[in-house]
A and B are shown apart, each in its own frame.
Chain A
């Protein structure tokens, strides 16, 4: 090969730099469209063999950028296909009433959702709206991540009295409201009616007590079949766990009213946890947490007669169609008469660095209102009384008696003690709670350790953490 025809290093570099520059310019061009395409449906008349047939034809037209609808980005976890399809229909309804707003959904993996959202917020590229949950709302509100909805609610006269579901403890922070209800969620008690019938029992009444619950659990426990009467009550009484309702039912609490001191060492809380402990290790009507690791859900696999689950679990059990089942009331404490259910719901929150506050509020207002709650009633409990009392809502959940769940949430709800440092003390609480169920520590020892760890977190709180 001659010296002239050989490709020199300098030539390669020049071509490479030139190509890089051209690509950069092209990318910049692509990022700044001068026009946007808007999909418009229009009717045209097509004449077929002497008849006139009206058909709808979709055409694409270009409109100047300034008259295009405002795009708002809505981030959500990836859900089941039918859930997402339902959300799209609700969005179409919203957009038909608000043609100046275009909603772009971003379905994201649930894992690390919160981490990614924080990072996007820090980088100034967060979506306009996000789904929110109990352990994110208050921590985010304390750090200025969400828009306070109260000014918009008051300005537009949004009727908050139409809700039966209390939102203040979960989503209020220092006088502001930082979440708009997506749908209500909380504790349910599901009963496998096939196993109930095998045990010769009827569905329990609304007035049944912890003693009745134990009798039912014993009747439905069949050791030979590795079948238990009850499950789901041994999670730590912090975060989303159902043991909390037993502590409350016995007159105890996890934290004091100001949510700045642990009260698990007080007698009512200790007694309640001991009651659960005896069900597992004395009566043996509950499976141990260790035996459940890596296993299929025991209720869904027909190995448990009664299970505490979240309302969000309903669609999974319904879609599985494995056995006949129904909701039962949370039993009352035999002495205190208290019935308690833990609640924690999903909300819509507007990110504080959105450039489209009004449009975002319009979307949240729609989804919080009767129309949005009606759209979402298939997948959760609407917070609006008129929607939840509608026959359409009850029919959607038939043959199960969803009214049981609504009644329990209406009368007897307690939140998960959301604070600005929820994740930290919940984590430590769970760490100190686990040795109870492996027999390493007594109930008193474990709860004492839990309170030491929790109070230590609270002692390091900066002032602005107080509600």
Chain B
């Protein structure tokens, strides 16, 4: 009967009071809606339009159709920046996930001063990106920097780091790992949410610590891993500050990230139209990988209470 009443109500449409209530709700969120339209949706739609124009910012845009997108194929710096960014994502994201998860496991122990250690690992995330970049320029100095000095102490001659095209990108990847504290915090929350009775039951059944980790901890943490993987991919594809502050994209384009190339086109080379096209290509690439991870998640992400296989 209740279902029947609901169907009847749906067919009837909204009552006047329901419509008024809906209007009041929209009015209440109208400031946020206005902000979304003016500051987010508006620029997104504008950038789509500009991607089909020759737009030098200080002059009016001129429609040129698909010319900006066609230009990408022959633009060696487009492919170079995509390659550099792809390598950065492929290495820094898994490394970052692995390290932050490992640190979270360590921080999930009941030892003295654990609060201090958790804070210490998280502190780098509070340092502004520009300040962090300047600090790491110091650390990477090949003659006087902390890194090469430490390597020299154990008999290793350190490379030129930011001064050599083979080592500049690895240097920036190493620098990105300084921020594992952010992921650590999320993993720690996840770890502390795992029901302890699962571990107790496994222990009673004689499961070793490694098997408990493999068959309880990892599956229980897959939703968090999934979230961090998505956020890591989205964030890493947009890497910019390190390249902009520390290397300018060099040496010899070794750290010429995609967004840095986009920025140069938009604000240095008066090619906002082409930069808009670059932005949309990046959006599609990020969307592709995000959807790929989402599609794959059914195979490896486990949610509490979820039944799998033939039930």
Contacts and interface: CB of A to CB of B under 8 A. Distances in A.
Contacts of A118: 57-58, 267, 270
Interface string B55-67: 0111100000000
B140 to A, nearest CB: 7
> Of B58, B140, B253, B268, which is in contact with the most chain A CB atoms at under 10 Å from its CB?
B58
A288 B160 CA distance: 11
B141 interface: yes
Interface string A135-162: 0000110011100000000000000000
A424 B263 CA distance: 12
Interface stretch (B83-91, B211-219, B243-251): B243-251
B85 to A, nearest CB: 16
Given A118-B267, A294-B138, A431 B59 contact: no
A143 B252 CA distance: 30
Contacts of A290: 141-143, 160-164
B144 A121 contact: no
B interface, size bucket: 20 to 34
A423 B141 contact: no
Nearest to A116: B267
B24 interface: yes
B169 interface: no
B36 interface: no
Interface string B249-276: 1111100100000001001111000000
A17 B27 contact: yes
A97 interface: no
Interface in B15-36: 24, 27-28
A434 B247 CA distance: 11
B249 A431 contact: yes
A122 B27 CA distance: 33
A119 B270 CA distance: 11
Contact of A437 (B143, B163, B248, B269): B163
B57 A294 contact: no
Contacts of B250: 430-431, 434
Nearest to B265: A424
A421 B249 CA distance: 19
A115 interface: yes
Contact of A295 (B144, B164, B248, B268): B144
B251 A293 contact: no
B56 A421 contact: no
Interface in B122-160: 134, 137-138, 140-145, 160
A435 interface: yes
B144 A291 contact: yes
B165 interface: yes
A427 B163 contact: no
A291 B58 contact: no
B145 A294 contact: yes
B162 A293 contact: yes
A9 interface: yes
Contact of A434 (B144, B252, B267): B252
B211 to A, nearest CB: 48
Nearest to A420: B270
A410 interface: no
A268 interface: no
Interface residues of A, number: 34
Task: Give the dominant DSSP class at B's interface.
Answer: loop
Contacts of B161: 290
Contact of B264 (A119, A121, A427): A427
Nearest to B264: A427
A114 interface: yes
B55 to A, nearest CB: 9
A262 B251 CA distance: 21
Interface in B30-74: 56-59
A386 interface: no
A17 B27 CA distance: 9
Contact of A293 (B24, B59, B141): B141
B251 A438 contact: yes
A424 B270 CA distance: 10
A293 B137 contact: yes
Interface string B166-191: 00000000000000000000000000
A279 to B, nearest CB: 18
B269 A143 contact: no
A40 interface: no
B251 A431 contact: yes
A334 interface: no
B128 to A, nearest CB: 13
> Of B56, B138, B162, B251, which is in contact with the most chain A CB atoms at under 10 Å from its CB?
B251
Nearest to A120: B58
A253 to B, nearest CB: 23
> Of B142, B162, B163, which is in contact with the most chain A CB atoms at under 10 Å from its CB?
B163
> Of B59, B138, B160, B248, which is in contact with the most chain A CB atoms at under 10 Å from its CB?
B160
Contacts of A437: 163
B141 A291 contact: yes
Contact of A119 (B57, B142, B248): B57
B256 to A, nearest CB: 8
Contact of B269 (A122, A140, A421, A435): A421
Contact of B56 (A9, A10, A17, A143): A143
- 6 closest Cβ contacts across the A-B interface? A290-B163, A434-B251, A294-B138, A294-B137, A423-B268, A291-B143
Given A118-B58, A290-B164, A423-B268, 15 more contacts: A9-B24, A17-B27, A122-B58, A288-B163, A290-B160, A290-B161, A291-B141, A293-B140, A293-B141, A294-B134, A294-B138, A424-B269, A427-B264, A431-B250, A431-B252
13 contacts: A10-B24, A17-B27, A118-B58, A144-B58, A288-B163, A290-B141, A290-B164, A293-B140, A294-B137, A423-B269, A424-B269, A434-B163, A435-B252
Interface of B: 24, 27-28, 56-59, 134, 137-138, 140-145, 160-165, 248-253, 256, 264, 267-270
Interface of A: 9-10, 13, 17, 114-115, 118-119, 121-122, 139-140, 143-145, 288-291, 293-295, 421, 423-424, 427, 430-432, 434-435, 437-438, 440
